[in-house]
Amino acid sequence: MTNPFPRDFLWGVATAGHQVEGNNVNSDTWFLEHLPGTIFAEPSGDAVDHYHHYREDIALIAGLGFTSYRFSIEWARVEPEEGHISVAELDHYKRVLETCLEHGLIPVVTFHHFTSPRWLLQLGGWESDSTPELFARYCDRVMAHLGHLIGVACTLNEPNLPWLLESFGIGGEAPENRGTVPMWAAAAERLGVDARTVAPFQFCSTEEGFQVKVAAHRAATAAIKAHRPDLLVGWTLANSDIQSLPGGEGIADQVRRDVNERFLEASRGDDFVGIQTYGRTVYGPDGHAPAPEGVPVNQMGEEIYPQALEATIREAHRIARIPVIVTENGLATEDDTQRLAYLETAVDGVASCLADGIDVRGYIAWTAFDNFEWIFGYRPKFGLIAVDRTTQERTPKESARWLGNRARQEDKVTATNPA
């Protein structure tokens, strides 16, 4: 049987700066974590101190057999105040990139993974017409310093997530209602702005937010390409496998349109689209339907459904009509046996897509380390590598060894049977 995985297929793990580096104190997310009435379960704090442990972390990832590492460059570190670029922080990320290359890992760099500088939130965040230009300016400065070291560029991470969260009843407040929400009211007071203008990336689901994010992605793409026309550039999308129960078809169709389809249409013309899928989302006549009784669930109470990834890859191929990279896929569980089984089914789904001629360029698992999972805090365990946050000791799980070995085996098969 012909091996469906191409020679240059990316096998990797992903992180995001705010979730692993620690002490991202100039970011809007750090600011929100510490507000009265915050919806964050706990603050990020030191996280897993990847900022200082990146050398051994990258060596560990490479040693497990992976060929790529996806991570973010934090805008709030690089530009802590508007117009002030920290060369020291750019040099830090230069060392991270060089360490990846020293260990044979292709760096997949995300320019914005949910977090923005606090000053951007004060200027209107992701509903402000000035944000696309400001974001593109930041991308330009990063590329001028680091562009020659980057392997693949992701502009924005999951710009569509707020619309999916809104369907779960998380966020989605109209600007005129934000002042009634304790966290937004506290943010407005601290920033000295009208609550209607508080629009962080993760929770911005207005039409203005959609337009600003699309414009920012395109402006950033142009800025990146100005330095490296050859560099693969795309954005990454949180695409759930949207399904319906009888009576829920209309709601499912609308969510699918808002969350998946229009963002895939906006991806046309990019070099690739990153697909980030964790399961299916089912809608009944009353909205989001909980997991069926008795099915295995993850730590957030969601059905474990790894087959969703194959469905969203096929949807992306059909609508965006460009190459796909799986830039996140994983399971929140304390039971690594569950995770391993989930990964095996998901990777088999990728192989099925490749066998059918769909151009899938990589599979990057979420996440390298048990880390800070945004509003849920440190309770969900997505990591392929466990971390003792008291000692910062790293311990690879069997799922990490299995996926790394799968990468090694596929590389050997491809080398033996080249396409």
User: Does this model's pTM top 0.75?
Assistant: yes
Say whether 176 is catalytic.
no
The pLDDT assigned to 1 comes to 44
Is residue 4 domain-resident? no
Continuous segment of H or E residues that includes residue 238:
strand 232-238
Is residue 3 domain-resident? no
The pLDDT assigned to 419 comes to 47
Residue 171's domain spans which residues?
10-416
In the chain, which residues have pLDDT < 50? Answer: 1, 416, 418-419
Q: In what order do the strands lie in the sheet with 241-244?
A: 241-244, 280-284, 287-288
Find, among 366, 291, 294, the residue nearest to 332 by Cα. 366
CB neighbours of 336 closer than 8 A, spacing ≥ 6? 397, 398, 399
Q: Left, alpha or beta for 357 (phi > 0: left; psi -120 to 50: alpha)?
A: left
8 Å CB contact between 255 and 283: yes
8 Å CB contact between 281 and 169: no
CATH assignment at residue 316: 3.20.20.80
Q: What confidence tens digit (pLDDT) does each residue in 75-100 have?
A: 999 999 999 999 999 999 999 999 99
Out of 158, 261, 302, 310, pick the active-site residue: 158
8 Å CB contact between 369 and 378: no
Is residue 1 domain-resident? no
Q: Domain count of the chain? A: 1
Is residue 86 domain-resident? yes
Is residue 277 domain-resident? yes
